[in-house]
């Protein structure tokens, strides 16, 4: 019984091989290779024993090239592929696979190399600027290891660095320029203005955006956008300028020489008179105000736009204006 089963399996396998052998070699329209050589098996399906025979040099790493079908057929003719099915193609596109190393990959690797050394902080807070333009570098697709630092020097005072890398599992990397110089700057995330503001102008949500700025520019007192919204700027500021706590003041709801409503408060009595602010103030500030009726200067607390409150422990005597019948000023202190 076992012999019968074995014989049947052998017969099936032979049939599959015969079926495969009956399939004519067929040209591929697109080919991806990893080696420096393009072989017949890369170009042709069902190439059989000729699959490992080299016929063309591959494009450079990461590059793509096109080969006319006539040239492919000529190269394959000596290798018993006369029945080649070209599938109506005019050319075969060949791409050599690679691992690409971009400028961003390099600057991020430099930041990680500098992090925690030479006075630098975390890698994610380092902005790296290279001295030269860096094109995308291509190495073998099999070279998956991280760039290894072979040499590194840095100057903490100005952030200048000089670093060299190597890629141990790559032959192509030995021919690449893997030495880089530049500047690393520690950055912080802070609120910056999207437009210029005048002195005292109140910051709206559309006026600020969170950005990464150098620590030297933002200082240690940078602010979050949420903390800046609703505050006013102490002095004129330009668009793009980073905001610091010292740049912000509470909005001034009373301006100098502005007419204000003065409210006198004592237990059980409240009198309202007209006044003029001697100085500007924000809510909660104590400012000097002139009582227009008595022409006296009093200190009052700003409670809102155009409103101040005077709290007094002295009795207030209210008089009535014969002309209007409205409550007039009390005689204070």
pLDDT in tens, the chain (333 residues): 444 434 434 444 444 444 445 678 899 999 999 999 999 999 999 888 899 999 999 999 999 999 999 999 888 888 877 678 888 999 999 999 999 999 999 999 999 999 999 989 899 999 999 999 999 999 999 999 999 999 999 998 999 999 999 998 899 999 999 999 999 999 988 999 999 999 889 999 999 999 988 888 877 788 899 999 999 998 999 999 999 999 998 888 898 999 999 998 877 788 889 999 999 888 888 999 999 988 999 999 999 899 999 986 444 444 444 444 444 444 444
pLDDT value at position 283?
87
Which part of the chain is CATH 2.30.30.760?
A: 253-331
Q: Phi/psi of residue 89, each to 5°?
A: -80, 155
CATH class of 188-251: alpha beta
Which part of the chain is CATH 2.60.480?
A: 2-96
Burial annotation 101-140 (CB, 10 A radius, 16+ → b, else e): beeebbbebbbbbbbeeeebeebebbbbeeeeebeebbbb
Taking the chain, what is the end-to-end CA distance rounded to the nearest angstrom? 125
Closest to 208 measured CA to CA, from 222, 233, 231, 225: 225
Query: In this structure, are strands 37-39 and 179-193 parallel, antiparallel, or unpaired?
Result: unpaired
Which part of the chain is CATH 3.90.1210.10?
A: 188-251
Do 60 and 89 touch, CB atoms closer than 8 A?
no
Cα(157)–Cα(155) distance, rounded to whole angstroms? 6
Report the CATH fold assignment for 253-331: SH3 type barrels. (2.30.30)
Cα(260)–Cα(308) distance, rounded to whole angstroms? 7
**Residue 96 vs residues 13, 169, 202: alpha-carbon distances, Å:** 35, 18, 59
CATH class of 2-96: mainly beta
pLDDT value at position 10?
46
Closest to 98 measured CA to CA, from 66, 136, 62: 62
């Amino acid at each position: 019984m076992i012999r019968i089963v074995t014989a049947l399996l052998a017969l099936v396998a032979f049939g599959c091989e015969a079926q495969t052998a009956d399939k004519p070699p067929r040209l591929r329209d697109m080919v991806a290779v990893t080696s420096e050589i393009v072989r017949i098996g890369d170009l042709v399906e069902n190439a059989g024993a000729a699959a490992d025979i080299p016929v063309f040099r591959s494009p450079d790493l990461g590059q793509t090239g096109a080969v006319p079908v006539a040239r492919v057929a000529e190269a394959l003719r000596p290798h018993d592929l006369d029945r080649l099915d070209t599938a109506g193609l005019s050319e075969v596109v060949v791409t050599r696979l690679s691992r690409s190393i971009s400028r961003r990959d390099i600057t991020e690797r430099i930041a990680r190399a500098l992090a925690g050394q030479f006075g630098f902080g975390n890698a994610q807070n380092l902005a790296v600027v290279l001295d030269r333009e860096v094109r995308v570098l291509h190495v073998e697709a099999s070279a998956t290891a991280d760039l290894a630092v072979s040499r590194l020097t840095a100057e903490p005072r100005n952030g200048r660095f000089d670093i060299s890398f190597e890629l141990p599992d790559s032959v192509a990397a030995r021919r690449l320029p893997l030495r880089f110089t530049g500047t690393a700057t520690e950055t912080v995330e802070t609120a910056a203005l999207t437009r210029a503001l005048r002195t005292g102008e109140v910051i709206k949500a559309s006026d600020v955006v969170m950005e990464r700025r150098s620590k030297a520019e933002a200082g240690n007192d940078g602010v979050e956008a949420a903390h800046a919204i609703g505050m006013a700027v102490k002095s004129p500021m330009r668009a793009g300028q980073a905001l610091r706590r010292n740049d912000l003041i509470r909005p001034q709801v009373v301006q100098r020489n502005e007419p204000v409503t003065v409210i006198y408060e004592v237990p059980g009595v409240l009198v309202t008179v007209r006044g003029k602010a001697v100085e500007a103030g924000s809510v909660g500030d104590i400012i000097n105000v002139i009582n227009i009726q008595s022409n006296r200067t009093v200190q009052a607390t700003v409670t809102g736009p155009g409103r101040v409150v005077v709290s007094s422990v002295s009795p207030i005597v209210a008089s009535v204006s014969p002309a209007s019948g409205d409550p007039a000023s009390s005689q204070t202190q």
